[in-house]
Structure 1
């Protein structure tokens, strides 16, 4: 993973929502830019209307690998709040025509250019920058992003987050390689931190499995409270302690906003992912000698 104790590059940049005139000029993927987003799915709206759910319904981080088992969990959509200030978020996204391998490709491909990142969630994504090693031709898509860090600026609700998402092997959360054949399933796993301070504040997993119509993504987040830790041995003093204290006490408004954010961005992605992936594959094949 990148050395996140150093300040991220380009500290004076001024990211913006949407695409400026000419921003997509010369980009083969420009046709996939669509700022009109579909309404939040009904099953997510119904879950959010219930408010915070009972903590015992939530998936323990230590049991994250059970996402790879058949069936569903008690909480597939919604959120819960814990006494230590942490929160758990769950969303289910149905993705017709999408394969797990397409998601592995996306989590590598979108990270290296802000315009690609904006395709994903036009109403909230502002900026993306990648810190990772070079990729050799033929490297499996999942291996292209694991070990790298995506620096992103995005809105969650009305709050601007400047984040560092370090992608880690699924085995860190107990997933077995023999259960993650990219044709049948994948698990995108990350440590979520701040990009300007050496502070981590949670974990994310997007488990994707084949279903008859395509795939379904079951997303889980464990954030705040007990999950707030300093990075690379940094001392929790001064500005860092102030930031950590705020992240330890997350509330229902932020939990709900994260559930909405995840559902909207993943449903929007599902609408164009099969087409953009197929076009990428065609272009890659045409470029081969």
Structure 2
């Protein structure tokens, strides 16, 4: 897979939360903008109250493919901190009326326009830009985003991050493609980096599986510490070394904010995803990607 290219220069861009006047003019999906967000689920609040968990309770990245197994892991909600500065994040989101295919569609559809990205998390999402070949509209939804990079600006807690998320094949993270039939399961897998400098600093997985009333998403993040590395053959010196120091050890406050961020954005998405997906698929040719 190709290394991430730097996003195009946009010196006039100023991050802002929410929708400004006129931002949704002419957008068929404008009615799905809802800045009112539900409270954190009780199971997430309980996990945060427990504080950092023992590292042995966490899923090791090399065992990520076991998310396809039946049942649950020891740590489904919460966070842990490691001696090298790395952190592990886990959240469980219940999504009534949602299917795995809807999530594959969303990760393709939302990434090409800032307004779509803001629908997802009105309190934190600021900007989105897509880098990659135009999607083949005849391809399965998962194939439309794998191999591309989503450049996003978003707040995690009070910190604004400028990120590059490279979507990779689930098999690269240890999943069997046979376990991810679009009607039963999907795994959205990405390498997380910085968008302004060639530096990666973590991995993410959103594993989605069918349950009786819809789907459930089990999200995992491995960030900082040993997951920090230059990309594209860059040397870890100067500005890049400074950037690496900033993300090697983020601490408990950032880990807690990541749990909150993931839970809020995914629960908010679940509230409107079935309806927006249904409306889109009724007339998929109405817009260009």
- With the shorter chain as reference, the TM-score category is over 0.9
Distance apart, 1:138 and its partner CA:
1.3
CA separation in 2, counterparts of 1:76 and 1:9? 39
Match of 1:92 in 2: 92
Structure 2, unaligned runs of 5 or more? none
Match of 2:25 in 1: 25
Cα distance change of structure 1 residues 59 and 229 upon mapping to structure 2, 3 Å threshold:
same
Give CA-to-partner distance per residue, 1:190-248, whole Å, 9 cap, x none: 00000000000000000000000100000000000000000101011111101101211
CA separation in 2, counterparts of 1:61 and 1:20? 40
**3-state SS of 1:206 partner:** strand
Distance apart, 1:4 and its partner CA:
2.8
- Tell me if structure 2 keeps the 8 A contact 1:208–1:218: yes
Give CA-to-partner distance per residue, 1:34-65, whole Å, 9 cap, x none: 00000000000000000000000000000000
Match of 1:166 in 2: 166
- Tell me if structure 2 keeps the 8 A contact 1:2–1:131: no
- Tell me if structure 2 keeps the 8 A contact 1:150–1:165: yes
Q: How does 1:2-81 map to 2 (within 5 A)?
A: 3-81=3-81
CA separation in 2, counterparts of 1:163 and 1:212? 35
CA separation in 2, counterparts of 1:105 and 1:4? 22
Task: Please tell me whether residue 232 in structure 1 is matched to residue 232 in structure 2.
Answer: yes
Distance apart, 1:105 and its partner CA:
0.1
- Tell me if structure 2 keeps the 8 A contact 1:8–1:195: no
Cα distance change of structure 1 residues 215 and 234 upon mapping to structure 2, 3 Å threshold:
same
Match of 1:256 in 2: 256
Match of 2:222 in 1: 222
Q: How does 1:136-151 map to 2 (within 5 A)?
A: 136-151=136-151
CA separation in 1, counterparts of 2:138 and 2:254? 40
- Tell me if structure 1 keeps the 8 A contact 2:7–2:151: no
Structure 1, unaligned runs of 5 or more? none
CA separation in 2, counterparts of 1:213 and 1:143? 26
- Tell me if structure 1 keeps the 8 A contact 2:96–2:215: yes
Cα distance change of structure 1 residues 81 and 58 upon mapping to structure 2, 3 Å threshold:
same
CA separation in 2, counterparts of 1:95 and 1:6? 35
Cα distance change of structure 1 residues 2 and 128 upon mapping to structure 2, 3 Å threshold:
farther
Q: Which runs of 4+ in 1 moved over 6 A?
A: none
**3-state SS of 2:233 partner:** coil
CA separation in 2, counterparts of 1:11 and 1:144? 29
- Tell me if structure 1 keeps the 8 A contact 2:47–2:77: yes
Task: Please tell me whether residue 277 in structure 1 is matched to residue 277 in structure 2.
Answer: yes
Cα distance change of structure 1 residues 239 and 191 upon mapping to structure 2, 3 Å threshold:
same
CA separation in 2, counterparts of 1:172 and 1:39? 35
**3-state SS of 2:283 partner:** helix
- Equivalenced residues, count: 287
TM-score (norm 1): 0.97
